[in-house]
Chain A
Amino acid sequence: MVGMFTYIARRLSFGFLTIAGVSVVVFVIMRVLPGDPLIAIFGPDGFTKLSEAERANYMSDLGLSDPLWQQYLRWIGDILRGDLGRSFFRSESVGEMIARRGPLTAEIALISVVVSWLVGIPVALISALKPNSIWDNIVRFFSVLFLAVPGFWFGMLIVLGLLFSLSYRAPLTGASLFTDPWSNLQIVIGPGIVLGLGQAAYIARMARSSLLEVIREDYVRTARAKGLPAKLVIAMHALPNALLPVITLSGILLGFVLAGSIPVERAFGTPGLGYAMFTAVSERDIFVMQNLVLLYSCVFVFLNVLVDVVIAWLDPRIRYQ
């Protein structure tokens, strides 16, 4: 038990260092990017009519004229106080925005994981148990196809297909799962499936190769020799062991879903965090960008630590190393 706690503490400390490093990198990149945020605030035409003194005043008001180290420390201090800052030209705070939009993106991520397992594992089973059969070739073709097709393009096809065949599109504004579940489902299901199918391809390929490896192991042969039915051997002995690397991959992919959700949410017009990130980048909204990137990195690190812990719990060899 002590070993497990030590293991978790070590993983968390590595995670903390990673987040600290990301915060520095993100902060510096945001400050060295060319371009003036005042253009987003005033619009191109309003911006051109600002005098140099007015521009300097506005930059000072935004706190962007201070030395970089002061700006960085102020930002970290705000985060430690639970203040994620405020878009420098919108009324909503970043915290409020995350609270409003985050659940939609979280739902999309969860749906994508469920879809990836529901599609990926059966595909891997077919492919691994009947290698080089017609079914193996078909499912491998589709897994490669979904690996190759960009999610945003697939998403756009779905949106256009529904629009021009059924005159349908998802609701234009966000809806809560608890107050308006039907609208909520319409909003999240499309991006969730598109991202899930993309992940399913990875899951299927990883599970297939892992399963192929496991079913050649001695303990599987022993189980078969004992006279256990083939399905039971796969379900009870081969699959649980073959899924260990798949769990690791799924955790990592869940982190990537957050990044992948940016173009996919854009394609579907989904009012989630991904679209908020797209908007922030296009407007050069420094405070929103740096806080969202930091949030994404925290989620990514947390998921990795969680996966490590789960794997260690499932596989005693890891925690005893």
Chain B
Amino acid sequence: MSKSSLRNNGVSRRDVLRGGTAAALAAAYGLRPDWAVAAVPLEFDGKTFQLAAPEPNPKRGGVLKYGITSRLPHFDFHQSGTINSLGSQGCMYDNLVRRDPRDSGKTIIPDLAHSWKISSDGTTYTFFLREGVHFHDGAELTADDIKATFDRIAKPPQGISIPRSVLFAAVESITAKDKLTVEFKLATPRPPEFIMSAIASGWNGIVRKKTLEDNGFNLRRVSDIPGTGPFKSKRRVENELWVMERNGDYWNKGLPYLDGIEFYHGLPFSPELGSGVLSGRTDYARIVDPITANKAKQTPGMSSLNFYQSVIQGVWPNTQKKPFDDPRVRRAVHLAFDRPVLVDVVKDVAPMMVGGFLYPFSEFATPIEELRKKVGYQDDPTAALNEAQSLLKAAGYADGIKDVDFMIRDLPSFKLWAQAIQAMLQQTLKIETKLRSVVESVWFDDVANGNYGFAIGAVVSTLLDPSDYFNAWYKKGGPQNYANWDNPKFNALLPKIDGEIDPKKRLVFIREAEAIMEQDPPVFPICWEKINDVWYNYVKGHNPKDYFGIYDVVRFDTFWLDK
């Protein structure tokens, strides 16, 4: 196995947060100082690579009962954007490369491709496939299947919409060089971590070329799409249960350990999800409410922890209307948010952590001890409020602002936050808001039509890398730029961030973009979401401690039952 790297990754969160003060601050903000993404080697020879559970002597057999939201909108997981799809479907598919479930997904490891090679100019990615891998319908995997899968993801045909296509915008061509070799050519270089993370995303499971062709490239109604993954679909009851059975012909010898998995549908944070695991009807539950998580911690034989989710919770101002077209007004509001208090407000509903415009636990964000020195993130809010009031006065709103339409997505955490923010803005800046609670579909309609003053909601990204969510959330015309924010300096900076492959130079650009957003906020970040998992201690072979999101580690191949 040989490894090399394009770069000398000199700045990492691990380095920055080393030291007691940093650790204490990080803990206060819900951060763990040991979080860092592993660099991707340019060459990886993994012909002999086989995955196994992290524990010695894992046991074979048993059926895992797993509680998760499993209300699939359709079966075409590439076209989906919700954990309802991937949470249960993910175990039926393999990726080209994947994130290592043993280290919480920090490292990219081989999957259907045992080895890879990235050209030194960062524009050619060659993957070497395993031989003798079969789909659940018996067909052999070839490079044509990889090409067909990624062709559809990168450039969806008419009538197909895949939320992650944007990650592959730089991909010029995908070629099956021979039966077991596939090559991705990029029009312009991208950081290898970005491209490899995009390929390794749990969303990008491999499906058969023939399956795609037979169904006109639309798999929404195909209830059992053949994959190569460790589990096969056995039985499904809509909105209730999906039973998976072990793939006895799985290429990774010895895996999976389980005979099967039963996925029990339970809405996130719902009583049935929590009561299901606490009563022993399920062995493991994902996205449970904090009360269930606390109860599990107190129960002998059970465990619970929370990990980072790929979601920002925020308030979007309507930048197309007065007064929020004025960056001074937006910064004033941004400064008036007391974020630790807002995290506390929802502590019994959902776990959250404080942060700014970037994933606060990522190596790309301003280190926490630096952030805490900035106005708006200090313990003492006096300076922030003084600046906020000065900014409002300079903008001509010394007497405050009245009748701001504050649209709320109909979820408990948003309602609680909206009331707290309403009080904060009233007391500190004399901004009076009118709360308006709407269902999800109306929220998106009104945001699209500009029918709001403030809109509180949340957005999700696929990757930790800013190139993904900067383009989606903050770029002019970005699909989730709900505020219609348009900052020419930021927009000019984005291509540099996307294309720069030297991490040090790239980090400078990213910090520059972060500074722009601090002064001209595209959104008022409330906090960053976390996820509670609960399980019985006999469930082994998983390590959710440092997960980033719930989309990349959905295979269950290393899970085993110690009972």
Contact = CB atoms under 8 A, between A and B. Distances in A.
A91 B241 CA distance: 14
Interface stretch (B54-62, B87-95, B271-279, B424-432): B271-279
Contact of B161 (A36, A50, A169, A276): A50
Interface string A40-81: 111111111111001001000000000000000000000000
B79 interface: yes
A83 interface: no
A116 to B, nearest CB: 26
Given A42-B73, A45-B480, A269-B272, A35 B439 contact: yes
A159 B278 CA distance: 12
Interface stretch (A4-12, A118-126, A170-178, A300-308): A170-178
Given A41-B73, A169-B281, A279 B239 contact: yes
A92 interface: yes
Interface string A143-172: 000000000000010011001000111011
Contacts of A54: 159, 161
A50 B67 CA distance: 31
Contacts of A140: none
A48 B479 contact: yes
Of listed A46, A89, A97, A271, residue having the most chain B CB within 10 A:
A46
Contacts of A91: 75, 221, 223, 238
Contact of A45 (B72, B81, B271): B81
Contact of A172 (B74, B272, B441, B480): B272
Given A57-B159, A172-B266, A173-B264, A284 B441 contact: yes
A269 B265 CA distance: 10
Interface residues of B, number: 49
Contact of B240 (A34, A39, A163, A173): A173
Contacts of B80: 42-43, 46
A34 B79 contact: no
Contacts of B278: 163, 167, 169
Contacts of B275: 159-160, 163, 169, 269
A13 B279 CA distance: 51
A226 interface: no
B163 interface: yes
B440 A46 contact: no
Contact of A39 (B159, B220, B444): B444
A231 interface: no
A35 B159 contact: no
Contacts of A48: 444, 479-480
Given A90-B72, A173-B264, A39 B441 contact: yes
A157 B278 CA distance: 16
A171 B281 contact: yes
Interface in B344-368: none
Contacts of A51: 161
A92 B75 CA distance: 12
B170 interface: no
Interface in B119-178: 159, 161, 163, 165-166
B412 interface: no
Contacts of A57: 159
Contact of B439 (A100, A169, A276, A284): A284
A37 interface: yes
Contacts of B445: 34-36
A285 B202 CA distance: 28
B460 interface: yes
Instruction: Specify which of B220, B240, B264, B275 lies most central, judged by the most chain A CB atoms within 10 Å of its CB.
Output: B275
A294 B72 CA distance: 25
Interface string A267-280: 10101000010010
Contacts of A172: 67, 240-241, 264, 266, 272, 276, 281-282
B82 interface: yes
Contacts of A40: 73, 441
B161 A46 contact: yes
A40 B84 CA distance: 11
A263 to B, nearest CB: 13
A167 B280 CA distance: 8
Contact of A173 (B161, B221, B237, B270): B237
A207 B220 CA distance: 55
Contacts of B444: 35-36, 39, 44, 47-48
B459 interface: yes
Contacts of B508: none
B515 interface: no
Interface string B217-240: 000110100000000000001111
Contacts of B393: none
B106 interface: no
A282 B264 CA distance: 19
Interface in B200-252: 220-221, 223, 237-241
B310 to A, nearest CB: 10
Contacts of A90: 72-74, 238-239
A271 to B, nearest CB: 5
B238 A92 contact: yes
Contacts of A97: 238
Contacts of B238: 90-92, 97, 100
B32 interface: no
B442 interface: yes
A37 B266 contact: no
Interface in B412-435: none
Contacts of B159: 54, 57
Interface in A240-297: 267, 269, 271, 276, 279, 282-284
Contacts of B165: 49
A42 B272 CA distance: 25
A172 B265 CA distance: 8
A51 B271 CA distance: 37
Q: Which of B439, B441, B445, B479: most chain A Cβ within 10 A?
A: B441
Interface in B440-460: 440-442, 444-445, 457, 459-460
A43 B81 contact: yes
Interface string B326-353: 0000000000000000000000000000
Contacts of B272: 169, 172, 269
15 contacts: A34-B438, A34-B441, A37-B441, A40-B441, A45-B460, A48-B444, A49-B479, A54-B161, A90-B72, A90-B238, A163-B275, A163-B279, A167-B279, A173-B241, A284-B439
Nearest first, the 9 A-B pairs at minimum CB distance are A35-B441, A269-B272, A46-B81, A43-B81, A43-B82, A45-B81, A169-B279, A48-B479, A49-B479
Given A49-B479, A91-B223, A172-B264, 10 more contacts: A36-B444, A37-B441, A41-B73, A42-B73, A42-B163, A49-B163, A90-B72, A91-B238, A160-B275, A172-B241
